[in-house]
A and B are shown apart, each in its own frame.
Chain A
Amino acid sequence: GAVVSQHPSWVICKSGTSVKIECRSLDFQATTMFWYRQFPKQSLMLMATSNEGSKATYEQGVEKDKFLINHASLTLSTLTVTSAHPEDSSFYICSARDPRITQAGNTIYFGEGSWLTVV
């Protein structure tokens, strides 16, 4: 079953409003979570790395004030898209690293993704 859960799976919001996407690690404590965005017909783009208890590290070109990331607990990270606009419509995916596992192939788990449509 899923070990990383994202909620909501899809959301429609009005332009100018804010929307929050949650990413939860279900059976492990994730000290590090990653947020990605996928544009249509393009690859995933890493937006930021979220470390529990500290500020997120944003990739170049990603607006910190627009994409607020909070990693307040070891099992939850949230991405808030503030003052959303139609161009923010995208597929957002989180991933979490399980620090208990040493085999790299099983270390990182992805959420199912969240479709955001801004109208």
Chain B
Amino acid sequence: GEDVEQSLFLSVREGDSSVINCTYTDSSSTYLYWYKQEPGAGLQLLTYIFSNMDMKQDQRLTVLLNKKDKHLSLRIADTQTGDSAIYFCAGAGSYQLTFGKGTKLSVIP
């Protein structure tokens, strides 16, 4: 099945850009997602990218997909303290998602 790997921690200063990286194994994943989980809350879908796209931008969020290397990244511009959370990437070959372990983003004021 799908295996999704992420770095576990990232710490950035407020106002800087954050880049969260993810690698996946299943090349048949049609869609790749980024979710945000704030403490004690459920997952919130942030953005997604279709596998035939290289990049997708949505306000402060930029998703880059390198399908050859099976590498996905999420860039958050002008990171704010409210962005502190755990970010999960997930791959979907069908509608069943496989999640990475999550990257905890800490924003230093």
Contacts and interface: CB of A to CB of B under 8 A. Distances in A.
A65 to B, nearest CB: 23
B82 interface: no
A24 interface: no
Interface in B94-109: 95-102
Given A104-B48, A105-B45, A112-B42, A43 B96 contact: no
Nearest to B90: A44
Contacts of A108: 45, 95, 97
A44 B30 contact: no
Number of contact residues on A: which range applies?
Answer: 20 to 34
28 contacts: A6-B42, A32-B95, A34-B96, A42-B101, A43-B88, A43-B99, A43-B102, A44-B43, A44-B88, A49-B96, A95-B97, A97-B95, A104-B50, A104-B92, A104-B95, A105-B33, A105-B47, A105-B48, A107-B95, A108-B45, A108-B95, A110-B35, A110-B42, A110-B44, A110-B45, A111-B42, A112-B41, A112-B42
Contacts of B42: 6, 93, 110-113
B51 to A, nearest CB: 10
